[in-house]
Amino acid sequence: VEAPNGTVLGTSKSLLALQRQLAQQAREAVSSVVRGAVRAAAEEAERDRQSGGRAGRGGSDQGSAGGSASQPHSRRAGGAGKRAEGAGQRDDGWGAGKRAEGAGQRDDGSAEGESQAGFKPHSRRENAGGRRESEADLREAAAAGNAGAGGSGGVVEKEKLTEFPGEVIPASVTSAGPGGFEVRGYPALTAEREGVALRVLPSALEQARANRAGVVALALGQVRLAADRVTTRWTGAAALTLAASPYANTAALVEDVQRHAARSLAEQWAAGAGGAEAVALETLRRRSEFESLVTFLRERHEDEVFRVVGVLVEVLTAWRETDRVIRESSSLALLNTVSEVRDQVSTLVYAGFVAETPASRLKDLTRYLRAARLRVERAAANPRVDATAAWKVSDLTNLWEQAVEAQSRMAPDAARETTLAEVRWLLEELRVSLFAQQLGTSGKISEVRIRRLIES
C-alpha cells in the first residue's frame, strides 16, 4: 500500500495482516496529533499567562479600583481552568471530566467561554456515571489544576508516578489543532513497562481501558510486599510446586500474584465492598477516591496474596499432572488429541497467566486442566467419540476467533468485546461438559448459547 506521494505505508501477502498493520499506524498517528496539539496549546497558554501577568501588574498601578479588582480575577479563573484540565491525568487514561468542564468558569459562576489555554469548557454538566456536578465540584477541578499542572497552564504528561497526580483528573481536554479544528484528548493513568504514567489518549474507550489498569498499578505501588515476605511463608511442598511454574524466576511469579491480588481487591472495592462508595475504576478521578482504594487494599492485600498463592498451587499441580500425561502419550492414534490438548494447556498456563486471568476464573483453571488430562486418558479407549466432541469445540472456536478478528477491525465496542471475552471461558466450560462431565461446569452451558453469543 502506497501513499499519494509514493511512500510505502505497508507490505504484506495477507490483506488481513495489512489491515491490522495500517490500523495500528492510524491509531498512533491520531494519538500523536492529540498529544502534540494539547502540548502546543499548553505552551502557548504559558506564554499568554506570563505576558498577561506582566500586563496585569502594570495595569493595576494605573487603573481604577474596579479595574484592578476585575482583571486579575479574570486571569486567575482562566489559569485555573487551564490547569484543571491537566491536573488529574492518570496513567491509565481515565478522565475526570465534569469537574474539568467547569474549570474555565469564574468564581461567581459566569462562563468565560474559553480559557487562556484555548480549552473550551464543555456545555454539559454530568459525569460518566450520569451524576450532575455541583459548582463546588467545578471549582475543585480548577483548584486541582493549579496544584497539579505546576503552573504550566495546560495538560502535562508525567511518567514514573508514585502517587496520584493532583486532586482531580479531567475527563477530557480540548485544544485547537492544525487548521483550527478542535482536538479533544482523554487523560488517563496508564500502566507501562517503566511504571505508571499520565497520558492524553485519543479516544474515550482507550482512556477507560487504560485507566482501569493504571489505577490498579498505581495503588499496588502503595501496598506492594517484598518478595521475601511472600516466599518465606510458603510451605516446602508449595515452594516445590511454585518453583516449577512457567515463570522465569520466583520474583516474576510473586509480582504477577500481587498484580492479580491487587486487581481482584480493586474490583471488590469498586463494587462497594467494605462499605466503600461504588466507584468504577475506569472513571476514578479524585485523589480522595484513590486514597480510599489504597486504604482498602492495604488492609487486605497480604491476605489476598496468600489466598491467590493457595489457588495457584492447585492450578500448577493440575498443570504438572496434565503435562505428564501429554508427554507419556506416544500413540499415533492420539496424535491429534494430544496436539489439541497441548495447545489448549498453553493458553491456560504460561508466563504471565496469573495477572491476565480474571479473578473469577483463576480457580477454574484447575478444573479445566483436569478435564484436559481426562480427555487424553479417555481418548485412548474411544478415539471416535473424542473426535466428534473435538469437532464441536473446534467449530465454535473458529467462529469465535473470526468474531474477535472482525471486531478488531471495527469501531471500538466495549460491550461486544466483553461478550467475546466471556465466550473464551465458555469454550473451556464446553470442553469440560464434553470430555469430563463428572467435574461439572460453572453454570449451564450449551453449544447453542455460545453460538448465539458469538453471532449476536
Write out pLDDT tens, residues 194-248.
999 999 999 999 999 999 999 999 999 999 999 999 999 999 999 999 999 999 9
Does position 159 have pLDDT exceeding 50, yes or no? Answer: yes
Read off the pLDDT of each residue in 95-124 and give the average, rounded to a whole number.
34
pLDDT over 50 at 87, yes or no: no
Question: Which pLDDT score, from 0 to 100, does residue 66 have?
Answer: 41
Q: Determine, yes or no, domain membership for 354.
A: no
Asked if 75 and 49 touch (Cβ cutoff 8 Å), the reply is: yes
Question: Residue 365's pLDDT band (boundaries 50, 70, 90)?
Answer: very high
pLDDT at residue number 399? 97
DSSP H helices in 169-246: 204-223, 227-231, 236-243
Q: What is the pLDDT of residue 376?
A: 96
Lowest mean pLDDT among 86-95, 281-290, 415-424: 86-95
Checking if the pLDDT of 189 tops 90, the result is: yes
Does 35 reside within a domain?
yes
Q: What is the pLDDT of residue 110?
A: 35
Q: 372: pLDDT confidence band, cut at 50, 70 and 90?
A: very high
> Residue 184 forms beta bridges with which residues?
174
What's the pLDDT score for residue 105?
Answer: 38
Read off the pLDDT band of 333 (50, 70, 90): confident
What confidence score (pLDDT) does residue 80 get? 36
Q: What is the mean pLDDT of the chain?
A: 78
- At 142, the pLDDT band (50, 70, 90 cuts) reads very low
In a domain, 216, yes or no: no
Overall average pLDDT of the 365-384 stretch: 95
Indicate if the pLDDT at residue 76 is higher than 50: no
Task: Average the pLDDT over 321-340 and give the result.
Answer: 93
182-192 and 158-161 strand pairing: unpaired
- Indicate the burial class of 227 (C-beta count within 10 angstroms; 0-12, 13-18, 19 or more): middle
Q: What is the pLDDT of residue 286?
A: 93
Is 168 among the domain residues?
yes
Distances in whole angstroms, Cα of residue 188 to Cα of each of 31, 201, 210, 257, 300: 13, 7, 6, 25, 26
pTM of the predicted structure, to 2 decimals: 0.68
Q: Indicate whether 397 belongs to any domain.
A: no
β-pairing, 182-192 vs 173-176, is: antiparallel
- pLDDT on residue 25: 60
If one compares 437 and 145, the residue with the highest pLDDT of the two is 437
Please tell me the least confidently modeled range out of 100-104, 126-130, 284-288, 424-428. 100-104
- At 390-431, the pLDDT tens digits run 999 999 999 999 999 999 888 888 899 999 999 999 999 999
- Domain of 91 in residue numbering reads as 16-202
- 68 in any annotated domain: yes
Edge to edge, the sheet with strand 158-161 lists 158-161, 195-201, 182-192, 173-176
pLDDT of amino acid 183: 84
Instruction: Decide if 117 is inside a domain.
Output: yes
| Structural domain includes residue 285 | no
Q: Within 10 Å of residue 14's Cβ, how many Cβ atoms?
A: 9
What total of structural domains would you count in the chain? 1
* Alpha carbons 272 and 262: distance in angstroms, whole number: 15
pLDDT number for residue 90 = 36
Question: Given this model, what pLDDT does residue 15 score?
Answer: 53
pLDDT of residue 122: 35
Average of per-residue pLDDT across 59-76: 40
